[in-house]
Amino acid sequence: MGRIVGFFCRWCGYTAADLAGVARRPLPVELVVVRVPCTGRVDPELVLEALQQGAAGVLVVGCRRGDCHYVSGNLEAEKRFKLLRLLLCQLGMEGRFQLQLISPSEVERLVEAAWQMVFQLRQGMPGRG
């Protein structure tokens, strides 16, 4: 299976991934994490480019509603990525993109989301790879 590219907000997802390491909760080896200042900064073009260049999936992790350091970056991301998921669905690539909004202490949720994505993609790589 190809990689899963994680665009993790430095205030929540990235911190949680750090804590996961401290707590010895392994993240899948397929996951490659890119630290971003805020999910509002993740252009859908980046996601599509990762997929086109062979990533099996893309996981974007941001702060919970109301917790974004820049007030509304995560809300903008939510609207944007809802449309993106629809687009990928129509193109036969459903399941290859996910947005999770968590707080920095929700290590379990992050670890679970990452593994679940890996399992799903391993089962049947939907769409082209």
Partner 1 sequence: MAEVKLAVYGAGGCSGCELTLLEDPLGFLDITAVARVVFWPLLVNDRLADLAELPDGSLAVAVVCGGLRTDQDLKVVELCRRKGRRLLAVGSCALWGGVPALVDLPPGFNGPLAAEPLPALLPRVLPVAQVVPVDGEVPGCPPVPGQLTRQVLAMLELADQPPTGERVLGLTDQPSAGETAVVCADCQRRREGGLTKWRRFPEVAVATGKCFLDQGLVCSGPATRGGCGARCPGAGVPCRGCYGPVPGVGDHGARLLSGLAAVLEPDGGEEGEGHRAVDLAGTLYRYTLAASLVLPAAKPR
**Where on the chain is the footprint of partner 1 (CB under 8 A)?**
43-45, 47-49, 51-53, 75-76, 78-80, 82-84, 86-87, 90-92, 128
Residue among 6, 73, 95, 104 that touches ligand FES (CB under 6 A): 73
- Which of residues 1 and 83 has its CB atom nearest to partner 1 in the complex? 83
CA 107 to CA 23: how far, in whole Å? 9
Which of partner 1, ligand FES, none does residue 38 bind to, with CB < 5 to 8 Å depending on kind?
ligand FES
With contact defined as beta carbons under 8 Å apart, do 7 and 32 qualify? Answer: no
Which of ligand FES, partner 1, none does residue 39 bind to, with CB < 5 to 8 Å depending on kind?
ligand FES
The Cβ of residue 99 has, within 10 Å, a number of other Cβ atoms equal to: 22
With contact defined as beta carbons under 8 Å apart, do 1 and 56 qualify? Answer: yes
- Residue 9 binds ligand FES (CB under 6 A): yes
Q: Measure the CA dihedral 120/113/15/22, to 10°.
A: -90
